[in-house]
């Protein structure tokens, strides 16, 4: 009997419930139980998803006593990931939302507990399951021998936890580095197959909130084999300084031959090749013509509910519980992402480059 729990039914956890209920109907698990300390939320999400009343808990300890869990999805505030993850790892495998924990030290404590009990930890870096990222990775791998990544640009803009007036910010939240940038750094670490060596950064703060509301970082990765001293740079901006309806999540990859622009939300990828011709021109229109790209390719991907990144992530978790294989993003990759964010925040605070080890 495979019982899966979702703990935390807030802004994000409710999406896990929808997907796990679907996976249950597709026979990937036998029972779904939900838990939230907020009774109103528990009722609302339970009713919305037709979860039987006996499968709803407002107390984690009671749930752990009554249920024999195979896996648990943690969608609770990041600041309590360690405490709750350690408790759950006694009983089952976990999918912990990103970031794994606020600090590398806490990530390591979670990993230690998993090792002791031979448990799987998956971290909710859902962009890795986004079909655009999967497609980009295979496009880059196909071109690898002749076309190398030189530079990447990440832009993640959105409205943050609550109003940015310094009064209504949710104290459960960390800054936009842990909340937003951690996604892009994990995607780029995955694309390049390594973590950066150093970072420089700048951050913006507002009165009344202790964490950054904007982080701009330049991560430096070692160059490819044979070109180790020729670094790959990744400049990344994560910001909450935006109106509630402004959301942008983009990655631009410049290789030696192409510029590839990826939109995480719209699930689109556009590749542009270089100049049509590179010759001296004698008029402005000839000049513009010469600068037109030789080829612009829209990569149309299948979209729809089977391609929802969170559905694919949850499905992978349920299959890892059975197969015991390492998830695509385990605690190792989750900890690396936190390591990079910690270093970027330190670089912003000190105004100095920080080595990432
Ligand atoms: N992967 C993504 O794209 C993504 C997107 C948003 C949030 N997240 C992550 O999801 C996590 C939750 O974020 P959120 O925005 O949904 O937060 P939220 O504040 O909206 O929801 C958290 C929920 O946890 C419940 N909770 C808190 N302590 C609990 C306890 N001890 N026992 C049971 N329930 C408890 C709260 O009542 C609340 O309903 C965070 O780690 C966040 O970083 C991930």
Q: pLDDT tens for residues 76-93?
A: 999 999 999 999 999 999
pLDDT digits (tens, 9 = 90+) for 288-336: 777 666 678 887 777 788 889 999 999 999 999 999 999 999 999 999 9
- Whole-angstrom CA distances from 338 to 68, 107, 132 are 31, 8, 23
CA distance 2 to 322: 9
pLDDT digits (tens, 9 = 90+) for 181-217: 999 999 999 999 999 999 999 999 988 788 999 999 9
| Model confidence, pTM | 0.94
Cβ of 12 less than 6 Å from ligand 1: yes
Listed range (15-19, 231-235, 287-291, 301-305) with the worst mean pLDDT:
287-291
- Whole-angstrom CA distances from 168 to 204, 206, 208 are 18, 12, 9
**Phi, psi of 270, deg, nearest 5:** -125, 125
User: Tell me, what's the pLDDT at 171?
Assistant: 67
- Judge whether residue 116 has pLDDT over 60: yes
Contact (CB, 8 A) for 82 and 277: no
Give the confidence band of 111 by pLDDT, cuts at 50, 70, 90. Answer: very high
- Judge whether residue 232 has pLDDT over 70: yes
- Judge whether residue 145 has pLDDT over 70: no
Write down the architecture of domain 3-125 according to CATH. Answer: 3-Layer(aba) Sandwich (3.40)
Contact (CB, 8 A) for 236 and 260: no
**Ligand 1 centroid, distance to 247 Cα (angstroms):** 20
Task: Say which residue, 167 or 257, is predicted with more confidence.
Answer: 257
Test site for ligand 1: of 58, 59, 77, most ligand atoms within 8 A of the Cβ: 77
Task: Say which residue, 274 or 240, is predicted with more confidence.
Answer: 240
Report, as an integer, the average pLDDT of 251-276: 88
Cβ of 60 less than 6 Å from ligand 1: yes
CA distance 357 to 354: 10
Structure tokens at 96: 């912990």
- Judge whether residue 153 has pLDDT over 80: yes
Cβ of 271 less than 6 Å from ligand 1: no
**Ligand 1 centroid, distance to 290 Cα (angstroms):** 52
Listed range (217-221, 223-227, 248-252, 289-293) with the worst mean pLDDT:
289-293
- Judge whether residue 272 has pLDDT over 90: no
Domain boundaries, the chain: 3-125, 128-308+338-355
Question: Mean pLDDT across the chain, nearest whole number?
Answer: 92
Cβ of 59 less than 6 Å from ligand 1: no
SS3 68: coil
Task: Report the nearest atom of ligand 1 relative to the CA of 41.
Answer: 39
Residue nearest to atom 36 of ligand 1 (CA): 8
Cβ of 96 less than 6 Å from ligand 1: no
Task: Report the nearest atom of ligand 1 relative to the CA of 84.
Answer: 31
CA distance 302 to 91: 38
User: Tell me, what's the pLDDT at 276?
Assistant: 63
**Ligand 1 centroid, distance to 78 Cα (angstroms):** 7
Test site for ligand 1: of 7, 9, 12, 187, most ligand atoms within 8 A of the Cβ: 12
**Ligand 1 centroid, distance to 76 Cα (angstroms):** 3
Contact (CB, 8 A) for 121 and 356: no
Q: Does domain 128-308+338-355 have CATH number 3.30.360.10?
A: yes
- Judge whether residue 31 has pLDDT over 60: yes
């Amino acid at each position: 009997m495979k019982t899966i729990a979702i703990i935390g039914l807030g802004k994000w956890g409710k999406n896990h419930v929808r997907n796990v209920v679907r996976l249950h109907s597709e026979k990937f698990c036998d029972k779904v139980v939900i838990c939230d300390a907020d009774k109103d939320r528990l009722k609302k999400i339970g009713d919305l998803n037709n979860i039987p009343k006996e499968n709803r808990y407002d107390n984690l300890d009671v749930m752990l006593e009554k249920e024999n869990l195979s896996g648990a999805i943690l969608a609770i505030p990041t600041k309590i990931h360690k405490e709750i993850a350690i408790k759950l790892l006694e009983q089952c495998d976990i999918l912990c939302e990103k970031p794994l924990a606020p600090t590398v030290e806490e990530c390591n404590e979670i990993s230690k507990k998993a090792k002791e009990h031979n448990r799987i930890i998956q971290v909710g870096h859902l962009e890795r399951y986004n079909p655009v990222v999967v497609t980009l990775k295979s496009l880059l791998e196909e071109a690898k021998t002749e076309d190398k990544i030189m530079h990447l640009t990440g832009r993640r803009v959105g409205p943050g936890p609550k109003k940015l007036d310094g009064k209504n910010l949710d104290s459960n939240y960390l800054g936009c580095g842990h909340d937003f940038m951690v996604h892009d750094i994990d995607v780029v670490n995955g694309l390049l197959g390594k973590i950066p060596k150093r970072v420089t950064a700048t951050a913006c703060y507002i009165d009344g909130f202790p964490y950054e509301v904007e982080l701009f970082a330049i991560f430096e990765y070692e160059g490819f084999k044979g070109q180790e001293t020729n670094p790959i740079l990744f400049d990344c901006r994560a910001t909450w300084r935006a109106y509630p309806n402004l959301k942008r999540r983009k990655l631009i990859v410049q290789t030696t031959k192409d510029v590839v622009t990826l939109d995480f939300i719209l699930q689109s990828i556009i590749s542009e090749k270089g100049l049509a011709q590179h010759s001296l021109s004698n008029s402005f229109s000839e000049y513009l013509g010469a600068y037109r790209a030789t080829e612009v390719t829209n990569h149309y991907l299948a979209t729809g509910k089977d391609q929802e990144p969170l559905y694919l992530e949850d499905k992978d978790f349920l299959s890892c519980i059975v197969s015991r294989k390492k998830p695509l993003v385990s605690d190792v990759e989750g900890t690396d992402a936190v390591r990079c964010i910690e270093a970027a925040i330190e670089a912003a605070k000190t105004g100095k480059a920080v080595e990432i080890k």
